Amino acid sequence: MTPPTNVISSTVGDPTPPAEWARQACVWTAWPHHVDWGDALGEARAEVAALVAFLSRHQPVRVLVRQRDRSAAAAALGDTASLVTANYGDIWLRDTGPVFVGVGEARRARRFAWNGWGGKYVYSGDGAVGDDLAREAGVPIDRCDWVLEGGAIDSNGAGTLLTTRECLLNPNRNPHMTEADVEAALRRDLGARRVVWLDRGLRNDHTDGHVDTLARFVSPTTVACMTPADDDPNRDALAAVEAALGRAGFDVAHVPSPGAVRDDSGELLPASYVNFVIVNGAVAVPTYGVEADSAAVEAVAELFPDREVVGASARAILTGGGAFHCITRDQPA
């Protein structure tokens, strides 16, 4: 049975997105297939399969897959995940999936307008896959009439959201909305009681500065961000992030940055160690085959002493524009 769909009329105090470290029912991802992967498709699939194998040791994993790829995905994933046949453009479910709010019987799936990251990547199926995921999850859907991708916000589970001006105030998203308008919409649609703004994201970030590559809540009052390496082309942006978090009154935890990570053509990639994904009892940290990988995994492990923290290759996934947090969507219990 399809859950009811409605246009929401919420107020401050409505359920907020749970913190990612809260109990989860499952985690979703998707099987890579898009032609844009080119020669990296096979390696990206191998990295997704390795991630799913690790996450499945801690909780159920559900993987969206196109019908034509179902046999290949089943062979690669084995019994580590349940497959859900769906139409979707690419694997970035943090953005195309719903934003879940509330827990238990209060869970809702907020579905925002979709425009392909400001019109840059408009793939068939991405505008509707969030509905499909929410229906498969059995969670009622609410419509929100403005553009917001899930990776553009991070929640501490207690009413505070992190975001960036570069993304949410970008004229390619909601040109009619001011900063005050966006804050009002976040209060209305996501129960936010405080919105903390960072300015800009990583260079060459296709998402126009999603916050989940810059700063992540690791407790209600602590935010992890990256300390730039000497050769880091994002040095100024990362320093500004740390300063803004300090001014906002957070405890700041430091993770090394990977420095300049480039593709085979020499193009700078938006590599980030804070694009980790948290599940029940575990954290998976993306690694890129660079010197800082081990130190970054150790730094994240110190932030989650009660969880198994591992590093896993995301170098091929990164060529598509993101890493582990970008390709997953946690479903609260």
C-alpha 85, offset from chain centre: 21
Bridge partners for 311 per DSSP: 285
Assess contact for 15 and 106: CB atoms under 8 A.
Answer: yes
Assess contact for 220 and 250: CB atoms under 8 A.
Answer: no
Encode burial over 73-108: b for 16+ CB neighbours within 10 A, e otherwise.
Answer: beebbeebbeebebebbbbbbbbbbbbbbbbeeebb
CA nearest 224: which of 165, 278, 158? Answer: 278
Encode burial over 215-231: b for 16+ CB neighbours within 10 A, e otherwise.
Answer: bbbbbeeebbbbbbbee
Locate 247 and state its tokens: 């001014």
Spell out the residues 6+ positions from residue 236 whose beta carbon is closer than 8 angstroms to its own: none
Backbone φ, ψ for residue 169 (5° rounding):
-105, 10
Q: How many CB atoms lie within 10 A of CB 124?
A: 10
DSSP 8-class letter at 80: S
DSSP 129-152: HHHHHHHHHT--EEEEEEE--GGG
Catalytic residue among 144, 167, 225, 326: 326
Backbone φ, ψ for residue 308 (5° rounding):
-80, 120
326 an active-site residue? yes
Active site residue ranges: 326
